[in-house]
Structure 1
Amino acid sequence: MEPTPKELIVGEAGDARPIAALVRAETVPGNHLPGIVWLGGYRSDMTGSKAEALCRHAGEQGRASLRFDYSGHGASGGDFRAGTISRWLEESLAVFDHFSSGPQILVGSSMGAWIALRLVQELRRKGAGDRVAGLVLIAPAPDFTHELMEPELTEAQRQALAQNGFFEEPTPYGPDPNVFTRALFEDGRTNRVLEGLLETGAPVHIIQGMADPDVPWQHALKLVEHLPSDNVTLTLIRDGDHRLSRDEDISRILAAVDSIPPAP
């Protein structure tokens, strides 16, 4: 069964934006396999190879699956430059609540891992932490604005943020430059997760390439330090890049998903 396109309006009045999602319902009732929720990276969309592979894998197992585009990304509406971690987290929570039920595995890639960790925090705060059966974090970039980008900003970039509210830089992942706004940096500070113990209440699998030019593998080690010692698995791939989209990388991702036990 192919996933069904859905749309959810998040926000009110002038801030409303249509969020596009692809939803696949569980097809083997009673198998107790948690669903899979994909959380993409910065400027990525839900049609990437990892998201497609996870959706296909879920369908083969009869699991539910859910993937969507943040505002300003892919098929969703909204202004990309208005995007912040808080804004994309609000959309993720709304989509999660509206289109999924029961335990879910959060699979977050790069910035999506940051969103996944914040999503767990918000669900636990609401008393819904049992909805998270596990996390699979791929090249995780929590707190990337503060931890990875701010220390490396050039003077020209700092001036552009102060004077223009944004700066652009070329990216090897597409023809258009990446845009980083002052609002993204300021909001990122309020959403930092690498400051204390990150209680997830569920198994966490981290998959990180050691040849990643965007997120150093040491950042994954730092994340592990903030997670409880039980049920945390870190896989370092010596020749793995940031995308981790090779067949062997995707096989590792699917194996991590399958290692998370069914709901009781």
Structure 2
Amino acid sequence: MTEPDASKLDVGKDNDVRSIAVLMRKANQAGAGLPGVVWLGGYRSDMSGSKAEALCRQAGTRGQACLRFDYSGHGASGGSFREGTISRWLEESLAVFDHYTDGPQILVGSSMGGWIALRMVQTLRARGVGNRVAGLVLIAPAPDFTLELMEPELTDAQRQALESNGFYEEPTPYGPDPNVFTKALFDDGRKNRVLDGLIDTGAPVHIIQGMADPDVPWRHALRLVEHLPSDNVTLTLIRDGDHRLSRDQDIARILAAVETMSAEA
């Protein structure tokens, strides 16, 4: 199995250029007929996480192309995390997709990455190249999370901090540093809403959602299903699954979903 090639891609113009870290494993002859796999990580996650690594290993065993990268302000990429918005990270995702991939691809989006995957599909279909998406595997997807999941729960102190400071912080169980949420992220989230109408993906969708997820309620996944008009939508609910879905059995379900979608593409 060949190791993925590491590279950087500059995205943006003038003083807004961000250097995006990329790991690309190209397809070999054995996997030449299979769609590629594109990993889209979550908020403050990076491409070295256990799910992304497992996905890349599986692709390698099948000779399948696999693309991973870090959004600006994440992992090995440049740029400021506090300047991050859905639009900004979407721009980077599309730039990496355009530069490194050819032919049909399966988008695998985790948490916020699920939102970005859905916005990528909408953008690609608007360009007339929606056939580039062979399918979506969405892991604890969090579309519209700023508006739908966070804003209703904001405290008065957090609302005041957003208005006066432009951001607020809160502790997170996923790392030592607090999460930072900016007013720009909330404002931009409204511009990228997907749960305000039908989301025509033109491709199969498999959602994998934990029912013990403290961050994205499983009913949010049900709501997403209601906005997907395609008949080819699968929802897998894991009763004791958390938000990360990084246990061996969870990762096995994710890999199986990608493998099945690859075979049927």
**Contact 2:201–2:230 (CA under 8 A) maintained in structure 1:** no
Distance 1:263 1:217, change over 3 A: closer
The 10-residue stretch of structure 1 (150-159 or 25-34) with the greater mean CA deviation from structure 2? 25-34
Aligned to 2:148: 147
Separation in 2, partners of 1:262, 1:255: 11
- Specify the code of the residue in structure 1 equivalent to 2:7: K
**Contact 1:204–1:231 (CA under 8 A) maintained in structure 2:** yes
Separation in 2, partners of 1:50, 1:123: 25
Aligned to 1:100: 101
Separation in 2, partners of 1:234, 1:181: 32
Separation in 1, partners of 2:75, 2:264: 32
Aligned to 2:162: 161
1:1-264 aligned at under 5 Å gives the runs: 1-28=2-29, 31-262=32-263
Separation in 2, partners of 1:242, 1:93: 25
Q: Deviations over 1:34-85 (max 9, x none)?
A: 1100000000000000000000000000000000000000000000000000
- Specify the code of the residue in structure 2 equivalent to 1:175: P
The 10-residue stretch of structure 1 (23-32 or 146-155) with the greater mean CA deviation from structure 2? 23-32
Unaligned runs of 5+ in 2: none
Q: Deviations over 1:79-112 (max 9, x none)?
A: 0000000000000000000011110000000000
Q: Deviations over 1:137-169 (max 9, x none)?
A: 000000000000000000000000000000000
Secondary structure of 1:112's aligned partner: helix
Separation in 1, partners of 2:55, 2:29: 17
Distance 1:263 1:215, change over 3 A: closer
**Contact 2:136–2:206 (CA under 8 A) maintained in structure 1:** yes
**Contact 1:133–1:263 (CA under 8 A) maintained in structure 2:** no
Separation in 2, partners of 1:263, 1:174: 38
What TM-score do the two structures reach when normalised by structure 2?
0.98
Q: Percent identity?
A: 77
Consecutive aligned runs of 4 or more in structure 1 exceeding 3 Å deviation: 261-264
**Contact 1:36–1:65 (CA under 8 A) maintained in structure 2:** yes
**Contact 1:103–1:263 (CA under 8 A) maintained in structure 2:** no
Number of positions where the alignment pairs a residue of Structure 1 with one of Structure 2: 264
**Contact 1:9–1:17 (CA under 8 A) maintained in structure 2:** yes
What's the CA shift for 1:259? 1.3
**Contact 1:39–1:67 (CA under 8 A) maintained in structure 2:** yes
What's the CA shift for 1:193? 0.2
What's the CA shift for 1:28? 2.2
What TM-score do the two structures reach when normalised by structure 1?
0.98
**Contact 2:204–2:230 (CA under 8 A) maintained in structure 1:** no
Secondary structure of 2:76's aligned partner: coil
- Specify the code of the residue in structure 1 equivalent to 2:256: A
| Alignment RMSD (CA, Å) | 1.0
Separation in 2, partners of 1:79, 1:119: 22
What's the CA shift for 1:30? 6.3
- Specify the code of the residue in structure 1 equivalent to 2:123: E
